[in-house]
Amino acid sequence: MQDFDSARRLYAERGFARRVGWGDRPAILVIDLTNGFTDPDSPVGGDLTDVIKETRRVLDLARSTSLPVMFTSIAYDDPDLEGGYWVKKIPALRVLKMGTDAVQIDPRLGRRVSEPVLFKRFTSAFFGTNLQSLLQSLRIDTLVVCGTSTSGCIRSTACDAVQMGFRCIVPETAVGDRAEAPHLANLFDINAKYADVAPIAEVLEELARFTPKKRA
C-alpha cells in the first residue's frame, strides 16, 4: 500500500519497529478461531481456511515439543449485559452464545482436552480472564499469537502482552481478518509498536529449538 510507505520511512528514521526477539519459554495463544468466526456465513465470520492451516502448523510443532497451547473464545450468557458498549457497537457479536456451536474451537485445529479455552467477553485475551495469571504461573515469557481478527483481538492482545511484560511474536500468515485493508494496516502498527510480525517459517524454526519441557 502506497500510503504506508511514508509512515514506514518515518518510523525507520525514528527507530520504531526494533526486534523484540524470543525468550526462553514460549506459549502458543490462539485467538477466537471458533466456528462463529471461521464460518463465512456467520455474522462475525470470514473465510479463514488459510489462517487455520497456518495456525495448525504452529500447533503441530508446539504439541510435538510439549509447549503450552491455549485458546480464547468470545462467549456470552447475556451478550447485551456482559458485552456492554462493545456489543452495542457490533451487534453481530450477539450470536456468540455460551454453550452453542459458534463458541467452540474450530475442529480443524484439533484442540486437545489439556489445552485450556479461556472465555472472554471483550477484545483482549487478557481482559476479564485469568490469562496473565496462567502465563505467570507457567513462567511463560514469550507469546506466539495466532488467530483472528488482526484488526481486533490480535492487535489488542499483542498490545496488552507488551504492557504486561511479555515478548510477543505474530506469525504473519497465521493471523487473519475479514477485511484486507484493516488487516494490513494493523500488521503495520503491531510490528511497529508491540510485537515482532515474522514469516511463519522463521517462527517454526524458532519453535523447533525448544526441547520438550515439563510443567513444574
Q: Which residues in the 16-55 window bind a copy of itself by CB under 8 A?
A: 16-18, 20, 23, 43-44
Q: Judge whether 153 counts as a catalytic residue.
A: yes
DSSP strand pairing (175-176 vs 142-148): parallel
Q: Which of residues 180-199 bind a copy of itself (CB under 8 A)?
A: 180-182, 184-186, 188-189, 192-194
The 8-class DSSP code of residue 150 comes to I
- Residue 37 C-alpha cell reads as 468466526
The Cβ of residue 86 has, within 10 Å, a number of other Cβ atoms equal to: 14
Among 121, 125, 145, 203, which residue interacts with a copy of itself (rule: CB under 8 A)?
Answer: 121
Q: Which of residues 82-111 bind a copy of itself (CB under 8 A)?
A: 82, 84-86, 88-92
Smallest separation, CB 51 to a copy of itself (Å): 17
Identify residue 124 by its one-letter amino acid code.
S
Cα–Cα distance, 22 to 38 (Å, whole number): 29
| Residue 49 or 137 having the CB closest to a copy of itself | 137
User: Exposed, middle or buried: residue 140 (CB in 10 Å: 0-12, 13-18, 19+)?
Assistant: buried
- x/- track of binding to a copy of itself for residues 122-161 (CB under 8 A): xxx--xxxx-xxxxxxxx-x---------xx---x--xx-
| Residue 148 or 156 having the CB closest to a copy of itself | 156
Smallest separation, CB 52 to a copy of itself (Å): 20
User: Is residue 190 a contact partner of residue 155, using CB atoms and an 8 Å limit?
Assistant: yes
Cα–Cα distance, 170 to 83 (Å, whole number): 27
| Residue 57 or 83 having the CB closest to a copy of itself | 83
Q: How many residues bind a copy of itself (CB under 8 A)?
A: 73
User: Is residue 194 a contact partner of residue 168, using CB atoms and an 8 Å limit?
Assistant: yes
Catalytic choice (146, 153, 159, 168): 153
Catalytic residues: 153
